[in-house]
Chain A
């Protein structure tokens, strides 16, 4: 057994280095061990993409300011070759990039860190916009004034007026006036603001972003801010009701444009965001020692990649669960790491929706697959047919559940389709050869392991630790290596060999 010594040294080194890295991060960067004791900091990245025309380019992006719920900690922007200025224009801050000459696809990044807090600062939000009575052209002006009359009759003040007006546009059977107005003005939110202004109500469009951890490629949603004397309310034109303001960041507050671009075309602004749990102390510290090369952590990556890594860094933990269940317990699973992938999908869909979706797709798949098996197809074409079938099924379920009003059903698209197809194929062959009992055994085993992996990976503490302490990955590695050396009995073998032990 002499050959085992280097192995144990390696495992030892992994554990020591892993622990050292983890403790160093805790001590030096004050990253807490538990997710509870800190403030939430949102990092939001805005990515501006456009095609430059080959001339000088000037791009100006509206940037957020402190507002109820959020305090801007610090902001920066990255874009090689561009000159950058943070300016203030009509009470709103903007980031302005400029370059003498640019050609082809351009990418500009703006990053802001916001502390979630009970800030009450109103900034530009509290200042009502200047009222500018709009003029509607014929034939729209008659429709607009008729609608104003109708809504005025049913309302008492600016807020009830807005509600009634939104109702006019949020009905299945639109009135002729509403239809005509929409025809002339395709941007519904903008139209509503104009109609409000027509009734001499101070209102403007603001751009809001619903913050949700790890979301990428999001767009600003228009909201309507309506004033009544010094009070104001925010309405969501999509629901026709007052907007839900939890986690809603008002990125653009003064009714101006999000992006002004000179010298470019086809511009898109997308947002990625990530929730970080940092002590408020650390947020301040970060401001002081801006960039530190030794600060080796995922947090130094762009937000979009960070969001990606948040998921990736959980995989080793899920894998550890699979190894434990197979080596120590002895559960059978269909496909070694299929349970981890299913667990990853469960994280996106939530457990119950995921389980139902998985069972429905695999169950239906097995029924259809049993027909395919009678067609004498070659293996590769059969699997391909199963893949297409799975995609069609997922599409069908999404549409049906959406029509029925279950938006949860849409999440079924998070399932890894190729993995589902192989699962169906394997289960189907297993069914034919070994009977339904073995299918239940292996399918059940896979699902149990997937659920356990899901519970482990979805744990708040696990998510916090894996994302903030990279050193833990080395420790998991050491554990997996040690488990690879375990030659003791599996839990299920203790049961299996029970009759032997009794002789």
Chain B
């Protein structure tokens, strides 16, 4: 029919979920509104994660009001590297990454220097709510920089690669790795040009990769073959992701994990409205898996380990 459009029938046949269906059928039904603050506020997420023994990046400090802004330099100057982010930020907005601190001077991953004024202005913008949903007042959170695992050397350009796992009613159903590129300016958001790599739920190995919704084989900046990617500590990561269900109470959840060289998988943040690009990265629709979990009902009585085992068994590519 139209050469540039897919037919809705084909998409439905492949079990691909659209935005309206995600919003109406899954987010609206499984994510209770009152729990959103736990997920939208990274500081609250951190607190519940600590209570649930889910590892998260180390907290350096919190700046809660304009008077404390001048104290930001004292707070971070002895750190080897750090990240300042808004507690209620969305879509990766407002995250300032400093990878090198030398003689009281701060450097971004690109090597560009960030002055003390830049830091203070950034914090001040965060407090005023520039990056938060709806422009609400916010607090700035300073976190320790993640020393990311050597397994990802060459897979990411100037940024921390993270693993997004969709957890539906406690079952990890689909996963992808997000690799930043020069085009995405070190950010891990797919719509900004980061590479998405579909990851097999059973093994933690790459299935295929996309950039700007189109398949790619090599990382555009480092030319590393993306198929060779394998996530270390996969089993532990799956367990962490699955346990985020009990921790947050959200039925349809995106969990963003990072891999630290020393500490292993850590929870970076939760997302109550995870995007649809994960289907493109995996080359597969997510709906059949969601429906399979829905058919289990609520009375299956499985704990984290049993749920992860169930996902390994049913959602793995290479059985």
Q: Residues of A at under 8 Å CB distance from B?
A: 327, 330, 376, 378-380, 429, 433-434, 484-491, 493-503
Cβ-based interface call for B318 (8 A): no
Known A378-B128, A380-B128, A485-B24; further 10 A-B contacts with Cβ < 8 A: A378-B124, A379-B125, A488-B20, A490-B18, A490-B20, A494-B11, A497-B11, A499-B214, A500-B11, A500-B284
The answer to whether A501 and B128 touch (CB under 8 A), given A487-B24, A493-B19, is no
State whether A495 touches B135 (Cβ < 8 A).
no
Chain B positions within 8 Å of A, measured between CB atoms, are: 4-8, 10-12, 14, 16, 18-21, 24-25, 66, 93, 117, 120-121, 124-125, 128-130, 135, 192, 210, 213-215, 276, 279-280, 283-285
Name A500's contact: one of B66, B93, B125, B280 (CB within 8 Å): B280
Q: Name the residue on B nearest A381 (C-beta).
A: B128
A494 in complex: contacting residue of B7, B120, B121, CB < 8 Å = B7
- Asked whether, in the complex, the Cβ of A376 is within 8 Å of the Cβ of B117, the reply is yes
* A376 to B125 Cα, complex, angstroms: 8
Whole-angstrom distance from the CB of A410 to the nearest CB of chain B?
Answer: 33
* Cross-chain contact A501 with B14 (CB below 8 angstroms): yes
Number of A-B residue pairs, CB cutoff 8 Å, is: 84
Instruction: Select from chain A the residue with minimum beta-carbon distance to B130.
Output: A379
Report whether B25 and A487 are in contact in the complex, using a CB–CB cutoff of 8 Å: yes
- Alpha-carbon gap, A488 to B25, bound state (A): 11
A490 CB contacts on chain B under 8 angstroms: 18-20
What's the nearest-Cβ distance from chain B to residue A379, in Å? Answer: 3
Q: Are the C-beta atoms of A487 and B18 separated by less than 8 Å? A: yes
User: Do A434 and B128 touch (CB < 8 A)?
Assistant: no
Contact A500 B279, beta carbon cutoff 8 Å: yes
Complex Cα distance, B18 from A327, in Å, reads 11
Subset of 22 A-B contacts with CB under 8 Å:
A376-B117, A376-B121, A486-B20, A486-B24, A487-B20, A487-B21, A487-B24, A487-B25, A488-B20, A489-B11, A489-B12, A489-B18, A490-B20, A491-B5, A493-B19, A494-B6, A494-B8, A497-B16, A499-B215, A500-B283, A501-B10, A502-B6
Please state if A376 and B7 are interface contacts (CB–CB under 8 Å): no
A429 and B19 form a contact (CB under 8 A): no
A380 CA to B280 CA, complexed, in Å:
40
Residue in B4, B124, B210 whose CB lies within 8 Å of A495: B4
Minimal beta-carbon separation of B67 from chain A (angstroms): 13
Docked-complex contact B124 and A376, CB < 8 angstroms: yes
Q: What chain B residues lie within 8 Å of A380 (beta carbons)? A: 128
Which residue of the partner chain A has the closest CB to B24? A487
B283: chain A residues within 8 A (beta carbon): 500, 503
| Nearest opposing residue in chain A for B135, CB measure | A379
Q: Which residues of B contact A495 (CB under 8 A)?
A: 4-6
Which of A378, A379, A491, A493 has the largest number of chain B CB atoms within 10 A? A493
Inter-subunit contact B280/A497 (CB<8 Å): yes
